[in-house]
Structures are given as C-alpha cells and as structure tokens.
Chain A
Amino acid sequence: MRFTRILSLMVWVAWALPVEARIELPKFAAKQSLENIRFMTQDGRYTYSQKRSGALSMATSFKSVDVLANPPGTNYAVTSSEARRKMVVEVESQWHQNMDLNKINDIMVGAFNGVKFEKVGKGRVPRLHLDDEWLTWFDPQEKVIHVQFLRTPDRHHVIRLGKKNNGFFFPEVVMLNPETILYTDINDKGFSALLAWNLVEKKMTVVRKSEVSGTRLELCRRDNMIVMGEFSYDDTNRGTTIMVQAWKDAPRLGGFTTVYRVSDNDLGQMICGANNKLWFVKTMSEDRKLNIRETEAALMEFPSGRITVKSELERVTNLIDMDGRILLPLREDIFVLEGSPGSDSDTLKAPTRSAP
C-alpha cells in the first residue's frame, strides 16, 4: 500500500531525465558467431545456436549437441523466464521464403539448459508463467490464445480474441495466478483493452479500456509487480502512460496506479527487469511533421520512479531480455544494458596458484 502511495506521487508530466555522461555501452561478445546465437545463459555456460543445416545445437563445456533437427532454412526463437526451469523454442520453417506475418510455428518446451524438447502446440510468441508451470502462446490465424498447464497436458484452455481492425495484432499475456490471465486486445474501432480471463469460470472481465483509439497496451510482470504501458501506435500521437500494480499478498484485477504520463510518443518495448526495474524505449525528440524520432533506452526504477536514459544511439527500436541480460539490438550490433557483456576469448583462465 505504501509502495502504491509512493507510486501515485510520481506522475510528473515534465520529467527531468538524467542522462549518464558519455554513455558507451559494451557490445555483446561470444565465442560463436553472434548471428547464429539464439540463446545464451547469463553465465555464458550454455549457448543455443542455429546451424546452417537447419539444426538447433546446444554448446557447453566445449561440447556441442544438436537438440532439434529440421530442414535448412529453419529458424529458431528461444526464450525462458526468470524462473529458469524451462525453455521454449519456436520453430519457424522457411524463414526467408515464407513471409507470412501470421504464420504459425511449432512450439517446443524443454528443461532449462536441456537438450530434449517436446512439441506442445502451434502458434507464436510463447511465454512461460508462474514459475514456468504454465505456457501461453497465440495463434494469429485462429485469433486464439492457448493456455497450457505444462505438468498436465489435459489442462489446456483457449481464449478467443475479438474481431479487430488490425489483422496483424499480437496480444500481450500475463498470468496473475493459476486461475486468472491478463491479456490485451483491440476492438473493431481500434480501442485497446486490458482483459482478464478466469480459467475456472471461463468468464472475461474488462479491467481497463483505452480512452482513445490508436494506442497499444504492453504488459510485463516481475515478482510482485505488474506494469502496463499505453503507447501510441506509430504516429497516432496519443502520448505515453505507464501504470503499475505492486502487491504484497496477492495481485488484484485492476488496482493500477499511473506513475508516468507524458505527451511524448515513447516507443515502449517494456521489459520488467530484476530489482524493480522497468526498461523501455523512450522518445527523446520528435519531428511530428515528418514523423522522425530520436529514441533511447531508458530505465525507470521503482519505487523512486527515477528515469535514467541509458543509451546514446539515437535510434533504439527494441530491447530484449535474455536470461536476465538486458540487450539492445541495433543493426548488426548487440549492446548490453545490464548483465555480463560476454567474452569472445577462447583463452582458458590460468589455474589459481596457491600461496607457497
């Protein structure tokens, strides 16, 4: 409650943004070719890589083993969660030939750092929830969210999304508890909404509806905090709002407190990081006539609400959380915002000499 009260004091329209002097972000480095890497643990001990043959391999301790074999041209997307119990692989065939934005891929699940993966369904954007016991993914062709309890294959639910004006919409999904799923949707008039689906009652509740059309909602959860951001789509010029719900005992439907509201059209791409941190892409300047923006990575810390600009690259578009490493991909470079930058050295550490 106290946390929430502090958050409510943070709605500053004119935000003083400290920029760290001369930010030079380290570039991510690895022993393998970066373009082939699909996942690397934070300690760098396990690396999943794409092979030209179409296989996905896992390398550790100078050993490499193929964990999935598919025809050439197959691409893999590998994710995990902060629980670090399971990993999910999305298998995309004919990566460069099949340019269908709504294509559905095989979703495979395995143990964290594991080598065995089993297919659980077909769809896109798989997400692990609640200590990696639950998995959700989206089928953009059928417009349904699939919810799977991983310990019991029979516990499978679907949530059907509404008819919408954007045929390329992908929802954000967060599980509050084993009964309740928060997800985003837009209606046929272009209004976004945060909805809750009760798996037991099979009932939908509207948690929050956007006041204006042309915005998109982003959701992320970390520990006892859910963050919801409302951002403008492209040039819709609706400004930015970030809302937070923090709880001690149990999360609630609703109960979001606005902590940040600006007329800037921030890009968003939120990541809820460890230690009450929210990473997002902030718009630093904007030519609204020509729709040209300068964007940087920004960090909002809770409960202080302090925002710090963390990059000086001018054209940041995406942020990625790879096993707790916060990365900023830009063209052929990957910059590291938080976590180890890795190493491209093959030199073994010399054994520590004991004192004579």
Chain B
Amino acid sequence: MLLAPSLLFAQSIPTPLQAPDTSKYPGVYESFEKIISFDEQRFDAKAKELAKAPQTLADIKDVQQVDLDPDFMNSLILNSPSAYLKLASKDRCAFYNTLIADLLKTKEGKVERVFVQYQNKQDQNITAVVPKQDFLNKSVLQACPEASSLISKFQIKVMDQTIRETSFEIPSNIEQCESTYLTWLGDSKTPYWCQIHELLEETAQGPTVPASDFRRKKAEDSRIAVAKILRGKLSDVQQDFLKNFCSNADNSKSFCSEFFATNFFSKIVEKTKPDIYIKDICQEALGKAVWSPMVLKECVRKLRLEQEACFYGSHENSGLAPQPRCDHLSLALNYSSLNAEYDDCPRYSDQMGITNMARVLRHIDKQPMVPFQGFCSVLSAGTVFEFNKKYDNEEVWQAAMCYQEPVEDVERCLPVFFGNYATSTASLTTVVNEILFRTKGAAKDAKCEIVKKTDWNPNILKYRYGCQVIVDENNCGMGRCDYKIMFNEKEIKGLKIKVGLPLDYFPTDLMNEKYSQTYILQKDAQRKMKIVNTLPGMKNFFKANPKGILHGIGCAEDLQPGFFKKVTFNQCSPLPFIIDGIVSEGDRSALITRSAADNIHAPRLISWSTIYSAVKTYQYHHPVKQWTLYAIY
C-alpha cells in the first residue's frame, strides 16, 4: 500500500471544503488550517462512530487485505513529520515499521488506536477502531514477519551488536552522501533508529513530569533510564548522524548540507575528523608547541575568522606554500575523500612521482601506518619501494649504495632510500648495517642510527660508539642526501651512492611499459583505471564512485601557474596530482586537487579547464602522446 495523499484525499474528503467563518492565517496558511480543521472533525466523528461497535480483529479473513481507514490515514499524513512519512512511504512493511516505532502521529498525538478496514471471514467489509497493539499483533506482524526480528535487534541487550553492524560513516563528498542517504532510506531498521533518536531528544531536557503524576512519572523515569543507557552506547557522532538523518529523511540535500555546510574545522573540534589536518597550521598560527583541546578550539576560532591563518604550516611538514585560504581549505576538505591522515613532507621529496604514487597506494590499499625514521618523506619512498618489490619490479629503484665486496672484489649495490621504513630492506640503516657487516666486520645485528646534522655532537657519549648516519636535513630527499657515516668514531668513506629515483609513472615508451607504475598498478595490483578527459565524465565517476580518486600528470606551469612560471618555449615540468572530489555551484565546478608538491592536508580548488590545460599540454610533450588523467576504481 503506497501512500498516495492526493488519492486518499479524493476518497475521503468531500469537495468543496467549507471555509471557516474566520481565519487566523491569511493566504496559503488558511487552506492548511481548513484542511487540518476539517480532518480533525472527520477524525473525531469517525472515532465516535466506530467506538459504538468495538472489534477485536479476531475474524480477519486475510491479513494482507487489512487497510487503514482513509480518515485515519489523512490524520497521519497531516500530523506526522514529513521525514517519517518519507520512511513510511516505501512499502507496506516500511509503513508498519514507522508505526511500530511510534514515529507517526494522528491528531491525538502518538498512535494508541488504529482505524482499520478489512474483510471478515463472512466476507463482510468492516471498519473498526482497534488498539494499536492488537493491530500490530493480529495484522502487522502477520503481514510483515520481518518486523519481529527488527524489534528484537533493538533490545538493549543486543544493541551493541546492532550498533557495530550499522555504518554511521560521515560521507566525504556529495556523491557518497547521496549514496549514504539512499542506503539509510531503504534500510528497514531505519525507523527503529529514528525511534531511538526521538527518545534521546525527548529525554534530553531531563524529567518534566511532576512526581505527583505517578503513572506518567514512572513511564518517564523508565524512558530516561533507557535513554541514558543508549547515550552510553552511541557515540556523539552516531547520535548526530541519527539526528541529521531522522530530521532530513525526506530531503537528501538537507541531509548532505548538514555535513558539507559545516566548517571542516568545526568537525575536528567535534571529533568527527582527525586533528592532523590542522594541527600543523594551528601550532604555526598560534605560535604554540603544546596541543590540547583548548588550543584546538582557540585555533579553530582563529581559522574561521582569519582566512590567511591557513597559509603556512610548519617548515618541516610544508609543501607548496602558501596553502589555500581557510574558507577554501575547509570547503575542499569537506569534499575530499583521499585517505590523508598522515604527513608525507613533499618539501623533502626529490621525486614527485613517488610522493603521488604513495598517496594513491595508501588510499586504495588503506595501508596502516608503519614506524619510520628520518624525514616523513620516507613514508612515500618506503610505500612505493615495497609496492614495486611485491610485484618483482624493484629493479626500477635506481638509488643505491655501492661497496666493494672484499672477497670477490666486485662492486655491489644495494637499493636504498634515505630514511627507515618499517623493516624494508632498502631502509638507510639496514643498508648501512649490511655494508658494515660485509666490509668492516660489524655485527650482523648492529643497529645504525639516523642523526640530524644539527643534533650531531661527537662529544656526546652516545655518539662515540656504534654506527650513526648523519644527515643534513636541509639537503636530503628520498634518493639523494648530504650525509656521512660514523662507525666507532671513524668516518666510513669509499661508499658510492647512485643518486636519483627516475621512474616512469605512466609509460613513456612501449619497450619499458611494463616497468611503469601505472602498468603495475593495473596489471599486477589488478586496479582498474579509466581515462577521464571531460568534466561530465569526471562528474559521472564521482557519482558512481563517491570514494574514488583520479590521478594524473600535468605541466606544473599550467596546473599551478601562480607558483611555476614559464620562461622558455615549450617549457613543461611534469607534476603528478590527485583529484579526490568535486564541488559544484550552478554550472561551475571546482575539483579538489592536490599536486604532489602540495601538503597532503591542503587540497586546492582548481577548475576543470586548468586541469585540462595542464594534462593537454603534458600530452603534447609526452613521448608517446599519452593522455595522463585516469580514474582509479
């Protein structure tokens, strides 16, 4: 039984309506007032009439043929919140679930009795008023057996499991939000979640019934006790999610705007987003090294008032600066879906292809953080090295530390990156340990330590013995570094370093195609990639893949012309980037974009025409004229 208001009105309300003699509300409100007033009269009249012949529903012929009385339906439609009517309108069982969950109301308020129409076993058409509980037991639970199991899932003793089985994930872009909305709208458990929301709302103010009203007081105390238990089980985020959905179930735009209209920085205060996105900016903006909830609140206040407060993070972590102004940053982060809850220090990256590919890999594989030492750019180096090693492509890693093998008197080179990444064999100290073991008789399990040049002091006892790799943090990347090795107070010389990490991000020739990172991603890691070269194509991708990302390469001078300037003919500096969201207003759209040089927490708003120009120009210079913007599935 789908709710069809117009049809129901047509059946139950004689036309024309008689206008009341006087009206408090002019214009359109007058019509509503007339409708409600008329409905109330009809409801009361029907209730009075049906009360004369009480029924028990004991002789229903077919439970599937039980209908609600049209006047009762009218009253529900006029008195129930439109959000809950939307939940009820899906199908017969959805309607009954909202009724069971006490979300629908008549002119009497909470539904205690129901007007029904049915055929009895004598084939007579009966209209009757019956207690709601009788109606549920004798008709609803027979017609919709699933309702019983749904009710059982919302008992206090199993609530923990029900909560665990339900996704309250905050959508990260509008497409994902639409998908979340439809999932919740279609879920038969949703009315019961909204019942919980209503209970939490109702009891939020504490006791209101006077102690003298024993019966109601007892019921209220019971509801407050249940609400207290539920508040303990549901997090603030989950409660806010329920509030948003149950208030906006009839309007996906309103539901989504609650997520995206909210300043991203406020979400950090509310703990729905991690503080890593602004911690760096805050410490710089406030000049405070300490970090506490109070500092966070103070900072967010500043970021909301001063757009320029977001321009610069710390020197260590920064990428391309200035970063976007605060309002743009908040907007971009609200629509961004990249897994970016870590730092990767692009200012120390000497291979933007590795920085970008690591961001892609960490997003699609949802890789957990691993321990690392040295600059945080080693996170990118380690991620990409291990990815290539996994698919037997580690030869692509050209940065190496070479030594003269004393026994065979040949030069051996071990792949290396400058820093330590988990147990990777290419970690700097692992490689140095191996070489010292081979050439200097150091213990196999000796542990080298990375020490910043500024911290190095040979007079300090801990630096007198053992092995230290001393690095100049101002002149170190992933594949090149100004460094020296100290082993038991002596500098180890004679090691040769092959610097640089050249690699093909996209194939640059057919012969070596299989060594390119995107080839391995597709053929070995089995990730699907699809060319995107139009804005509608990109919009469709995000609609179908709300958490999807695109990656590409464009000329830096066209992608970020405010930072990189062309001075010579056919100048183009290849710069990889990731697009992980889109924000539209009217016919204009901005793409949420991070070039590999950008701080991972500071995506920018870039127009499609800028992205297109950058990729198109790069294609013009590309050896095999490849279009280099792909969606990853």
CB within 8 Å of B: which residues of A? 34-40, 50, 73, 77-79, 90, 94-103, 125, 141-142, 163, 165-168, 170, 188-190, 212-214, 216, 231-237, 267-269, 281, 287, 289-293, 314-315, 317-320, 322, 327, 329-332, 334
Report if B581 contacts A (CB, 8 A): no
A137 → chain B closest CB, angstroms: 12
When A330-B613, A331-B620 are in contact, do A190 and B321 touch as well, CB less than 8 Å?
Answer: yes
A331–B350 contact, CB under 8 A?
A: no
Given contacts A97-B508, A163-B315, A322-B569, contact A102 B574 (CB under 8 A): no
B475 interface hit (Cβ, 8 Å): yes
Does B79 touch A at the CB level, under 8 Å? no
Decide: A96 and B311 in contact? CB cutoff 8 A.
Answer: no
Contact B620 A292 (CB under 8 A): no
Q: Which of B89-97, B244-252, B256-264, B497-505 contacts A (4 or more CB under 8 A)?
A: B497-505
CB < 8 Å: which of A37, A90, A290, A317 contacts B570?
Answer: A37
| B311: chain A residues within 8 A (beta carbon) | 190, 213-214, 236
Chain A's interface: helix, strand, loop or mixed, by majority? loop
B569 contacts A320, C-beta separation under 8 Å: yes
Rounded to whole Å, the gap between the CB of B271 and the closest CB of chain A is 28
**Chain A residues with CB under 8 A of B558:** 317-318
The CA-CA distance from A293 to B311 in the complex, in Å, is: 20
Judge whether A99 and B312 touch: CB under 8 Å.
no
User: Nearest 3 pairs between A and B by C-beta?
Assistant: A167-B347, A97-B502, A317-B561
Residue from B325, B590, B612 with most neighbouring chain A CB atoms (10 Å):
B325
Task: Determine the distance from Cα of A142 to Cα of B321 in the docked complex, in whole angstroms.
Answer: 19
B556 at interface (Cβ–Cβ under 8 A)? Answer: yes
- Cα–Cα distance between A330 and B569 once the two chains are bound (Å): 12
Contact B353–A267 (Cβ < 8 Å): no
Kindly identify which residue among B475, B585, B596 contacts A141, using a CB–CB cutoff of 8 Å.
B475
Chain B 558-591, CB-CB to A under 8 Å as 1, else 0, gives 1011111111111101111000000101001110
A98 touching B312, Cβ below 8 Å: no
Scoring A101, A212, A269, A320 by chain B CB atoms within 10 A of each residue's CB, the highest score goes to: A101
Interface-central residue, B320, B346, B475, by most chain A CB under 10 Å: B320
Known contacts: A163-B315, A290-B588. The answer to whether A331 contacts B475 by CB under 8 A is: no
Chain B positions within 8 Å of A314 at CB level: 609
Complex CA gap A289/B605 in Å reads 9
Q: Is the CB of A37 within 8 A of B569?
A: yes
- Please indicate the chain A residues that have their CB under 8 angstroms from the CB of B34 in the complex: none
Interface pair B568/A79, CB less than 8 Å apart: yes
CA distance A290 to B606 in the complex (A): 8
| B567→A320 contact, CB < 8 A | yes
B351 lies within 8 A of chain A by Cβ: yes
**14 A-B pairs (CB sep. < 8 Å):** A50-B570, A77-B571, A97-B353, A97-B504, A100-B500, A212-B308, A213-B311, A213-B322, A236-B322, A267-B562, A290-B585, A291-B604, A315-B609, A329-B566
* Docked pose: A104 CA to B503 CA in angstroms: 17
- Cα distance A167–B312 in the bound complex, in angstroms: 12
Nearest opposing residue in chain B for A52, CB measure: B623
Q: Are B353 and A320 in contact (CB under 8 A)?
A: no
Q: For residue A35, which residue of chain B has the nearest CB?
A: B620
A213 contact from B312, B590, B612, B620, Cβ within 8 A: B312
CA distance A320 to B504 in the complex (A): 29
Interface size bracket, B side: 35 or more
Pick the contact of A99: B315, B505, B569 (CB < 8 A). Answer: B505
Q: A96-B508, A167-B319, A214-B322 are in contact. Are A315 and B567 (CB under 8 A)?
A: no
- Contact B574–A233 (Cβ < 8 Å): no
For the complex, give the distance between the alpha carbons of A35 and B625 in Å.
11
Give the residue of B319, B501, B569, B574 whose beta carbon is less than 8 angstroms from that of A96: B574
Partner among B312, B346, B563, B596 whose Cβ is within 8 Å of the Cβ of A189:
B312
A331 to chain B, nearest CB (A): 4
Query: Would A291 and B569 be within 8 Å (CB), given that A99-B505, A231-B562, A317-B561 are in contact?
Result: no
CB-contact partner of A97 in B307, B315, B347, B503, under 8 A: B503
B307 touching A98, Cβ below 8 Å: no
Write the chain A residue with the least CB distance to B612. Answer: A331
Indicate if B464 sits at the interface (CB-CB under 8 A): no
Of the residues B477, B556, B589, contact of A290 by C-beta under 8 Å: B589
Partner of B321, one of A96, A165, A320: A165
Once A37-B569, A78-B568, A317-B557 are accepted as A-B contacts, the answer to whether A166 and B318 lie under 8 Å apart by CB is yes
Contact A331 B508 (CB under 8 A): no
- Choose from A34, A168, A331 the contact partner of B613 (Cβ within 8 Å): A331
Given contacts A167-B318, A332-B620, whether A39 and B606 have CB atoms under 8 Å apart is no
Q: Is the CB of B312 within 8 A of A234?
A: no
**B557 in contact with A101 (CB, 8 Å):** no
Q: For the complex, is B617 an interface residue (Cβ under 8 Å from A)?
A: yes
Question: Known contacts A101-B575, A168-B320, A213-B322; is A233 also within 8 Å of B563 by CB?
Answer: yes
Which of A36, A163, A237 is close to B325, meaning CB atoms less than 8 Å apart? A237
Contact of A78 among B553, B569, B613 (CB under 8 A): B569
Cα–Cα, bound, A334→B352 (Å):
27
Contacts of A100 in B (CB 8 A): 349-352, 477, 500
Whole-angstrom distance between the alpha carbons of A281 and B556 in the complex? 17
Binary contact track B259-284/A, C-beta < 8 Å → 1, others 0: 00000000000000000000000000
Task: Write the B597-618 contact mask toward A (1 if CB under 8 angstroms, else 0).
Answer: 1000000111101101100110
Cβ contacts under 8 Å, A234 to chain B: 322, 324, 560, 562-563, 604
Task: Give the shortest distance, in Å, between A220 (CB) and chain B (any CB).
Answer: 11
Whether a CB of chain A sits under 8 angstroms from the CB of B622 is: yes
Q: Across the interface, do B562 and A233 meet the contact criterion of CB distance under 8 Å?
A: yes
Given contacts A73-B508, A101-B352, A101-B564, 4 further A-B contacts (CB under 8 A): A35-B570, A90-B568, A212-B308, A213-B308
Complex Cα–Cα for A265 and B299 (A) = 27
**Is B223 in contact with chain A by the CB < 8 A criterion?**
no
Residues in A with CB closer than 8 Å to B349 are 100
Interface assignment of B621: CB less than 8 Å from any CB of chain A: yes
A-chain residues with CB within 8 Å of residue B331 when the two chains form the complex: 289
Contacts of A142 in B (CB 8 A): 475
**Closest A residue by C-beta to B348:** A167
Residues of B within 8 A of A214 (CB): 308, 311, 322
Q: Is residue B328 within 8 Å, beta carbon to beta carbon, of the partner chain?
A: yes
- B567 to A94, Cβ gap below 8 A? no
Q: Give the docked Cα–Cα distance between A317 and B613 (Å).
A: 9
Q: Are A237 and B307 in contact (CB under 8 A)?
A: yes
Residues from chain A with a CB closer than 8 A to the CB of B621 are 35
Give bound CA distance, A334 to B571, whole Å. 12
Across the interface, do B308 and A168 meet the contact criterion of CB distance under 8 Å?
A: no
Residues of chain A lying within 8 A (CB to CB) of residue B561:
267, 269, 281, 317-318
- CB neighbors of A among B220-250 (8 A): none
CB-CB nearest in chain A for B501: A98
- Given contacts A214-B322, A232-B562, A330-B613, whether A96 and B504 have CB atoms under 8 Å apart is yes
- Would you give the shortest CB distance from A285 to chain B, in whole angstroms? 11
CB of A231, distance to nearest CB on chain B (Å): 7
Is the CB–CB distance between A188 and B566 below 8 Å? no
Per-residue contact bits, chain B 323-365, to A (CB 8 Å; 1 contact, 0 not) = 0110110010000000000000011111111000000000000
Docked CA distance A236–B322 (Å): 8
Docked complex Cα distance between A97 and B512 (Å): 12
A40 in complex: contacting residue of B307, B327, B569, CB < 8 Å: B569
Report Cα–Cα, A59/B301, bound state, in Å: 63
CA distance A145 to B283 in the complex (A): 32
Contact between A102 and B350, CB atoms less than 8 A apart: yes
| Shortest Cβ gap from B173 to chain A (Å) | 15
- With both beta carbons as reference points, the residue of chain A lying nearest to B345 in the complex is identified as A167
Specify which chain A residues have a CB less than 8 angstroms from the CB of B596 in the assembled complex. Answer: 99
Give the distance in Å from the alpha carbon of A232 to the alpha carbon of B325 in the complex. 12
Complex-state Cα separation, A144 to B560, whole angstroms: 24
Contact present for A292 and B562 (CB under 8 Å): no
A314 to B607, CA, bound (A): 12
A67 to chain B, nearest CB (A): 16
